[in-house]
Structure 1
C-alpha cells in the first residue's frame, strides 16, 4: 500500500483488482472465491422476449421514418422523456439503489422511481439485485450480462435466454435488506406493470396529443417507442461496448473501459473502468460534469436539499491507484 493510500481513510485493502473501502458495500467487491463450473447448462431461448424485442426495434425504425413529420414540441418532449427515463436508471436504480453512493429524500426517491418506470428496464429491486451480482461476479457465469460471451450477449442476448443458474443462485444470496426496507422500491415493485403502461407508454403518447395536437401515431412511435428503444440501447452499451472498447487508466486487470460515446448516450455511465474500480463513487467519474448529466443532477439535488452525503474518491487515492494498476493512458480533464 502506498503512502498516499495509507493517508486516505477510505483505502483498507485490495482484492483481485478491486478496492475494498469503508464506503464500499459487500456487493461492490469482486468475489474471487467463486469458481465457474466446467460443465455449462444448455442455452434456452426465451421466444417471448425475442419476439417482443424484435417488434420493438421494428417499431423504433418506423419511428425514425416518422421523425420529419413530428412537430418541434414533440421532438423537445421526446428529449425530455429520454432524459427523465434515463435518470431513473442512472441516478436512481444504479447510483442510488444499487450502490447507495448518496442518500435521497422521499420526494426524490418517488421522482426517480417514476422515472425508472418510464425507462421500463425491470423494477428497481430486480435491476439493483442483478447489478450487484454483476459487480460481485463480473465477467463470470454468475454475471447476468457476462461480456466475455461476446458483444451481442452482453448487449441484449442475455435478455433473450434463460439466466445462467449461477446468476440466480448468487442473486438469492445477496444482502438486499436495504432495498426491501425502502417503501418506494417495494411500492414500485408491487405496482410495476401499471406504472410501466402509464409512464413508459401512455404519458409520452398522450401529452403531445392532448396539449399541442400531435397525431397519436407520431406521439406513440416517437416519444413512446423510439425514445424507449434508444434509452434501452444506451443502457445496454454500458454492459457491452464499455466492457470491450476504450482505455483502462485505473485498472488494466479488469475488462471495463472508459468510453466517451457510451458516456454521452448513457448520460454519464461510460466511464466504466473508473466505476468498476471505485463503484461507490456517486459521480462514476473523476471529471465532474463532462458528459455526465447524472452527476450534475445529483449535485443539483444536493444543493436543493433533496439529496445528501454523496460518496467521492479522493484525488490522492485515484492517483495512487492509477500508478499501481492503470494502463498509463490517463488524461486529466
Structure 2
C-alpha cells in the first residue's frame, strides 16, 4: 500500500524533526500526495518540541492583554447594568464586522485564496479586518500559512504541543520561536504583497487601526445617541474587541484540542460546534486542515 509505506517513511524520521512541513495551503499546493480517498496523507508527522527552547516573555504584551481583559470584564458588567440597547446592538454589529474581516477576509480570501472577490468587497473586508485589530492582513496571513504548513511543530506560531494556554493567547505574550521566524521567511507572500489594497493597509496600519478599532467605535455611541464615555469605551470597544479576540483564539486552542475528527483522526484539528458558533463557522477545523481551500470552512 503506497499510502502506508509513505506514512511509515515519514514516521521513521519523526523523532528528530521539529519543523517538517505538515500541511497544505491551497488546492494547487505542491505538497504531494496530500489527500487520498478523503484522508490526508502528509498533514501529520508526530514531532517533538525543542526541549532546549526558553520562552522569552514580553511583559509589555502581558500588561496590555491583562488590562484589556480586565476592561472587558468591566465592560460586561456595564453591558448588563447600564449600557443602552443601541450600544449593545452596535457592539454586536462591530463584532460581526471584525469577525468577517478575519474569517471571510484574512483567513479564507487572503490566506487560502478560497474564493475570488471584486475590488469593493476586498476593500470592505480589509476595513473590517482593520476593525478586528489582529495585525494587518499580510502579517496575519503569513502566520496562518506557516501554521498550516507546520501545524503543531516548533514553526507553528500557536503550537498546541506547548499547551492549550499557549495556543490560545500565550503565543502572543512571548517572543516567537526562531523556527516560526525562519519558516515564515520561506512562505511565498508575493500574491498579497502585490495587492495594492493590502499594501495600503500595511503602510498606514498604525494610523488606521486605532481609528477603526478604538476611536470611532467609542465616539459613535457617544455622539449619535448620547451614550456615556464609560459605556462607549468599555462595552462597544473593549468588551467587543476582547470578545472577538477570544473567539478567534478558540480556533487555535479549543478547535485543536476538543472535538471529533471524522476527516483525519491522526491530526489535532477537530470539529467543534461551540467554536463554530462563536467564530462564525471556523470550528469545522478537522475538515479545514484537510481541505483549506474550501471557502465554506
Give TM-score scaled by structure 1 length: 0.77
Query: Following superposition of structure 1 onto structure 2, how do residues 1-333 of structure 1 map, counting pairs within 5 Å?
Result: 23-26=27-30, 38=50, 40-67=52-79, 68-284=81-297
TM-superposed CA distance for 1:40, in Å, is: 2.7
Conserved? CA contact 1:27–1:136, under 8 Å: no
Query: How many angstroms does 1:213 deviate by?
Result: 0.7
For residues 75 and 292 of structure 2, the distance between their equivalents in structure 1, rounded to whole angstroms, comes to 36
Counterparts in 2 of 1:262 and 1:32: CA distance versus 1, 3 Å: closer
Is the CA contact (8 Å cut-off) linking 2:43 and 2:290 kept in structure 1?
Answer: no
Contact 1:146 1:153 in 2 (8 A): yes
Q: What RMSD in Å do the two structures reach over aligned CA positions?
A: 2.6
Q: Relative to structure 1, is the Cα distance of residues 76 and 273 closer, same or farther in structure 2, using a 3 angstrom cutoff? A: same
Q: CA deviation at 1:21?
A: 9.9
Aligned residues: 273
- Given that 1:25 and 1:99 are in contact with CA atoms closer than 8 Å, whether structure 2 keeps it comes out as no
- Give the Å deviation of 1:24: 3.6
Residue by residue over 1:183-224, the C-alpha shift from the partner in whole angstroms, topping out at 9 and shown as x without a partner, is: 111110111111111110111111111111111110111110
Residue ranges of structure 2 left out of the alignment (5+ in a row): 11-20, 35-41
Q: Quickly say closer, same or farther: Cα 1:125–1:265, change in 2 above 3 A.
A: same
Q: What's the TM-score, normalizing by structure 2?
A: 0.86
Per the TM alignment, residue 117 of structure 1 is displaced from its structure 2 partner at its CA by 0.7
Mark the CA change 1:18 to 1:33 in structure 2 (over 3 Å): closer, same or farther: closer
CA shift digits 1:245-275 (9 cap, x unpaired): 0000111011000001000100110000010
Aligned partner of residue 67 in structure 2, secondary structure: helix
**2:75, 2:44 → 1: CA distance?**
45
- The structure-2 alpha-carbon separation of the partners of 1:85 and 1:129, relative to structure 1 and needing over 3 Å to count, comes to same
State the Cα distance separating 1:25 from its structure 2 match.
3.1
Q: Which runs of 5+ in 1 are unaligned?
A: 2-12, 285-333
SS in 1 for 2:271: coil
Is this contact kept in 1: 2:255–2:283, CA < 8 A? yes
Contact 1:24/1:280, CA 8 A, preserved across alignment: no
Query: What's the CA shift for 1:237?
Result: 0.1
Structure 2: how far apart are the matches of 1:200 and 1:22?
Answer: 30
Decide whether aligned partners of structure 1 residues 256 and 33 sit closer, same or farther in structure 2, where only a CA change above 3 A counts.
closer
